[in-house]
Amino acid sequence: GIQVEQSPPDLILQEGANSTLRCNFSDSVNNLQWFHQNPWGQLINLFYIPSGTKQNGRLSATTVATERYSLLYISSSQTTDSGVYFCADTSGGGADGLTFGKGTHLIIQP
């Protein structure tokens, strides 16, 4: 199946800083999604972004499908942005399951 690699694995920033998280895929991008899991375990679907760019407030995401990667940008970080960010994609364009990366653990310090 598809391999999903996320970087960096850990990131510690001060409040107000900007950050870029990356997701690389071993195969063609089909249904790429970004998720955030807060320190209490609640998981939120941030973006469905198989290609192009989307923005939602301070967060934006860009997927370059031809080069098999996606980037998640967080601007003016807040402590509530802390948690783990996951990307995921399906394999082969069909119902082959949703494969997740290991995540980027982000800590925003006040």
CA distance 85 to 35: 6
CA distance 12 to 33: 23
The piece of 15-23, 27-35, 57-65, 67-75 that touches another protein (CB under 8 A) is 27-35
Q: CB of 19 within 8 A of CB of 78?
A: no
CA angle 88, 89, 90 (to 5 degrees): 140
Residue 100 interacting with another protein (CB under 8 A): yes
Q: Residue 89, CB half-sphere, CA atoms under 13 Å: how many?
A: 27
Among 4, 23, 61, 74, binds another protein (CB under 8 A): 4
In terms of CB distance, is 38 or 76 closer to another protein? 38
Among 41, 56, 66, 110, binds another protein (CB under 8 A): 41
In terms of CB distance, is 38 or 109 closer to another protein? 38
Among 42, 57, 66, 110, binds another protein (CB under 8 A): 42
Q: CB of 36 within 8 A of CB of 44?
A: yes
Residues binding another protein (CB under 8 A): 4, 30-31, 33, 41-45, 48, 86, 88, 90, 95, 97-103
